[in-house]
Amino acid sequence: MADKIIRIGTRDSELALWQAHTVQQQLHDLGYKTEIVAVKSQGDILLDKPLYELGITGIFTKTLDIAMLNGQVDIAVHSMKDVPTALPIGIVQAAVLERADVVDILAHKGGLTFLEQDAIIATGSLRRQAQWLNKYPNHTVVDLRGNVNTRLQKLTDNEWNGAVFAAAGLERLGFISDKMIKSPTFEGIGEALDWMIPAPAQGAMVVLAMADDAFILDALSQLNHIETEICTYIERQFLRTLEGGCTAPIGAIATYNETAETFDFTGVLLSIDGQQKLEIHKTVDVSQWKKLGYELAQELLAQGGTALMAEIKKSLQK
């Protein structure tokens, strides 16, 4: 088995390939042989509709799931926030890498006077749309799809005031430094949106593998970052309990306080138009993390979340 080549499945976008090469390097450092197998997902091909209209769970992950189940690749590397909370039978979460920056970034061409005026902001995320409209109800939010470079190009080409990106993606591609964004398709400013609650597992990379492949599972276990694994578990448990899927306006962030030995959690659920917002905060002892996401989601559901989730699902089915 020492000569076994680990086939790393990935989407073929620049960011996805960066993530795959990062996993490849870490495996090489441990002495494993690898090769990268890039495939195009439906989420990368179908760019003319908002994600929630496509009605496919795990649109960015399904193609790689099939490739793994068919034996074409051994592992799949994903942005963890894109991965459905329920994995296909036979596939397991094998490693969560140390998390990058979790914040969202507003990319704009300079000057923020538009924040107090009528403005147009672009994002393909219902979570970002809802939180933006909650804070700036007079603004218009338009859909924005494609890889990072494509989205930045659209921001250059359109008369939009700004667009929202994950800081982790911009940083991994080397597009942002000291609030300055510079890519092949855009030059401008990046403002950290500290008030915006990130997507569950934002900034984290996950590696999936087949449940019965002991060699692969042992190799990947050496890449796992336990603190990130626990924090993302809490956030995804919150998401799963709310039954949100990847596209609902749900934000969640858990952080570990090493000094106090506690976990801090903030979760949010909004209506799609941002007019309704339910938020919950809690700090618990480190020993209480296993059911934290579930319990806080249940609290939120009892405080009006059940009715709000029903409204969201109804509107997404129209």
Position 69 scores a pLDDT of 85
Is pLDDT of 187 > 90? yes
3-class secondary-structure state, position 242: helix
Q: Tens digit of pLDDT for each residue in 138-171?
A: 999 999 988 899 999 999 999 999 999 999 999 9
CB atoms within 10 A of CB 272: 18
Q: How far apart are CA 135 and CA 232, in angstroms?
A: 26
Residue 268 near residue 276, CB atoms below 8 Å: no
pLDDT(137) > 70: yes
Mean pLDDT value of segment 185-191: 96
Nearest in space to 98 (alpha carbons), one of 19, 164, 181: 19
pLDDT of residue 44: 40
CB–CB of 254/114 below 8 Å? no
pLDDT at 51: 37
What is the model's pTM?
A: 0.90
Which positions are annotated as active-site residues?
Answer: 82
Q: Read off the pLDDT of residues 198-235 as tens digits, 9 standing for 90 and up.
A: 999 999 999 999 999 999 999 999 999 999 999 999 99
DSSP state of 290: G
Average pLDDT value over all residues in the chain: 91
Residue 292 φ/ψ, nearest 5 degrees: -60, -50
Tell me which of 7 and 314 has the higher pLDDT: 7
Residue 176: pLDDT band (50, 70, 90) is: very high
pLDDT, position 229: 98
pLDDT at 107 over 50: yes
What CA–CA distances, in Å, run from 47 to 41, 107, 121, 151, 247? 11, 20, 18, 11, 15
Confidence category of residue 1, pLDDT binned at 50, 70, 90? low
Neighbouring-strand partners of residue 284: 263
Q: Are the beta carbons of 91 and 210 closer than 8 angstroms? A: yes
Looking at residue 2, what is its pLDDT? 59
pLDDT of residue 59: 55
pLDDT recorded at residue 40: 65
Q: What is the DSSP string of 58-127?
A: TTTTHHHHHHHHTTS-SEEEEEGGGS-SSPPTTEEEEEEPPP----EEEEESS--GGGGS--EEE-S-HH
